[in-house]
């Protein structure tokens, strides 16, 4: 009982510290972008595994729930990437954002035909839309 109370107290103290932490202690635009990019890359890889596990099909089939869930997560990550890239940043940050967005767009471009080959037309369309969003958000690399 005493151990669980001390854990709860430690958790509450950590939450209080995080809530009161100065803004400068929070993630910078570049570290936030890089973390979101890492999540996006992992998400694309996991989605690719799920898509490749489906049988090839010449007719459109319903998108399985697991693939829909990963697509929703991927969409959230792409929104975060594109929002970060539109922020006012330095030339170096702009270059990093451009490289990251190009990398994500390439991964998505490669995944869309795989989904299409599995008969997942709706998923392929969403993946292509996300690729286009990444390309549209590309900042001028300076």
d(CA 52, CA 110): 12
What is the pLDDT, as a whole number, of residue 39?
A: 95
In a domain, 9, yes or no: no
In a domain, 41, yes or no: yes
How many domains in the chain? 1
**Residue 82 belongs to what domain range?**
29-136
Q: 78, 11, 20, 73: which is closest to 47 by C-alpha?
A: 73
What is the pLDDT, as a whole number, of residue 10?
A: 61
82-89, long-range: CB < 8 A, 24+ apart: 82/133, 82/134, 82/136, 82/137, 84/29, 84/32, 84/33, 84/36, 85/33, 85/137, 85/138, 85/139, 86/137, 86/139, 87/29, 89/29, 89/30, 89/139
- Kindly report, residue by residue over 40-92, the tens digit of the pLDDT: 999 999 999 999 999 999 999 999 999 999 999 999 999 999 988 888 878 88
- Kindly report, residue by residue over 83-114, the tens digit of the pLDDT: 888 888 788 888 999 999 999 999 999 999 99
What is the pLDDT, as a whole number, of residue 36?
A: 93
Mapped onto helix, strand or coil, the DSSP state of residue 71 is helix
In a domain, 125, yes or no: yes
**Confidence band for 1, pLDDT divided at 50, 70 and 90:** low
In a domain, 90, yes or no: yes
Helix (H) or strand (E) holding 62: none
In a domain, 61, yes or no: yes
């Amino acid at each position: 009982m005493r151990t669980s109370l001390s854990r709860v107290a430690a958790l509450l103290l950590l939450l209080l510290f995080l809530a009161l932490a100065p803004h400068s202690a929070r993630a910078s635009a570049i570290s936030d972008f890089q973390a979101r990019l890492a999540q996006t890359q992992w998400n694309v890889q996991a989605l690719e595994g799920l898509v490749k596990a489906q049988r090839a099909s010449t007719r459109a089939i319903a998108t399985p729930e697991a693939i829909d869930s990963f697509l929703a997560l991927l969409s959230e990550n792409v929104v975060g990437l594109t929002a970060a890239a539109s922020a006012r940043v330095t030339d170096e940050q702009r270059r990093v954002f451009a490289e990251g967005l190009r990398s994500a767009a390439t991964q998505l471009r490669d995944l869309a035909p795989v989904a299409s080959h599995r008969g997942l037309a709706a998923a392929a369309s969403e993946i292509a839309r996300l690729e286009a969003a990444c390309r549209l958000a590309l900042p001028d690399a300076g």
